[in-house]
Amino acid sequence: MAAATNGNLHHDSDTELGARSRKRPTTSVQSFATTANRPEWLGNPEWSADLEYVWRVRVAGDVAKLEARARRRRRQADQAETPRERVRLLRSGQWAHYRARSLALARADLVAVCGERWRTVGCRCGHREFRVDCKQTQLCGRCRSRHWQRWSRRITKAMDQALRAARAEWHRAPGRRGMVPGVYLITLTMPHGGDIEGDRKRMGEAVRRLFKVATHRQWWSTYALTYEVTPGDDKLGHVHAHLAAISSWIPYDELHAAWRAAMPGALVLDVSPPRRGSDQASMAAGYLAKYVTKGIEVADFTGRKAGELLCAFRGRRKVTTSRHFWLPPVHTCECCGELFRSVGAPASLQKVAPAAVLRSMAERARVWWDRGKPQVDLRFDGG
């Protein structure tokens, strides 16, 4: 570790860290040089320490499973009978290793390198470079703005096509029921228990039960739904669901009764009927995109609740839709119409933020370092 203390990392530093995983190093990993500064949006160090601590505890089990999978794939690759099978196993193990490293990275380190890497794509017009986002829309202001525009355009196109198809089918029907189809905006609430991750799971189960009733009674067939977490008066985090559904008529009383049956204790359900003479698809897209990319405000959430919010939505769909809602993605050049092809991969995190990767490596190898003192004593039942 002498070379690492001086800031020079050997190619076998991973082996050295693994060999000394159960010993306290003579120097702090945080003392190594870094090429990225920590963002100031995280507020005070105690708030950031709470967020990172909750994240580490909640993802520790998944990181351990991924690392075990990577080791298992490497052992299987050594015993592979054909070169093709060996390559497949090595790639599977490499994916698991990189995925574990990504989960072990501090969220602040990911936001700090947002936009510092570039991806090169080519078409008939030539080569173009695009910035690589960190995709932490709940924490990164830059990604929040860019992703809002992206989600708004995507939902507008899909909702507009679905609305036109529903109206055309309604006009062709011999026995028309209800009004001309429009977009209803519905807000679903639930009683909150203070556990954001548990409430998010309960809300998802209740929404599925409600959709079964709606499908059986033919209230709507096309919809898009997203989730939101507000701090609430008690600052414990309140989970809501926002739904945009295309329908000719939704019976309010029956919808209220169905939601109370799916979610016992729910008292509030807000339904906004379609606005005539307005661009309903664009309005619904703005309504949903606002909640899809809603960020975490330091003044509204404690560090612990912010970490729980990130873990509650990790690996889950941002927008849940009906079948065949999305249009096929288009990755073509507006000038020549040719599909974009990847020309150059972005620089690795090892080059852009070596200290962040080293901290992730130490986290997976269970090497101790000073992470900062959290605001409160957090306790969890297992990983």
Q: What is residue 369's predicted lDDT score, i.e. its pLDDT?
A: 57
**Close Cβ partners of 280 (under 8 Å, ≥ 6 residues apart):** 159, 163, 182, 183, 274
**Tokens linked to 234:** 């008690």
98's enclosing H/E stretch is: helix 83-104
The DSSP secondary-structure symbol of 89 reads: H
Kindly tell me the burial class for residue 186, based on how many C-beta atoms sit within 10 Å of its own C-beta (0-12, 13-18, 19 or more): buried
Kindly tell me the burial class for residue 208, based on how many C-beta atoms sit within 10 Å of its own C-beta (0-12, 13-18, 19 or more): exposed
**Tokens linked to 381:** 């039942």
- Each residue's pLDDT expressed in tens, for the chain with a length of 383 residues: 333 333 333 333 333 333 333 333 333 333 333 334 445 555 577 888 888 889 988 999 999 999 999 999 999 999 999 999 999 999 999 999 999 988 999 888 888 888 888 888 888 888 888 888 888 888 888 888 888 988 999 999 999 999 999 999 888 887 766 788 999 999 999 988 888 999 999 999 999 999 999 999 999 989 999 999 998 888 888 999 999 999 998 999 999 999 999 998 887 688 888 887 778 899 999 999 999 988 888 888 888 899 999 999 998 889 999 998 998 877 788 788 788 888 888 888 888 888 888 888 887 877 755 555 555 554 444 44
**Close Cβ partners of 83 (under 8 Å, ≥ 6 residues apart):** none
Q: What is residue 23's predicted lDDT score, i.e. its pLDDT?
A: 37
Q: Where are the domains of the chain?
A: 2-116+347-365, 141-321
Amino acid making up residue 24: R
**Tokens linked to 263:** 């979610």
Give the Cα separation of 14 and 6 in Å (integer).
17
| In the block, residue with structure tokens 């990767």 | 357
Reported as half-sphere exposure (CB side, CA atoms, 13 A), residue 354 has a value of 14
Contact criterion met (CB below 8 Å) for 114 and 136: yes
Q: Which CATH class is domain 141-321?
A: alpha beta
The closest of 37, 55, 129, 151 to 346, measured between CA atoms, is: 129
Give the Cα separation of 375 and 368 in Å (integer).
20
**Tokens linked to 275:** 């606005």
**Close Cβ partners of 203 (under 8 Å, ≥ 6 residues apart):** 188, 190, 227, 239, 241, 263
Q: What is the pTM of this model?
A: 0.79
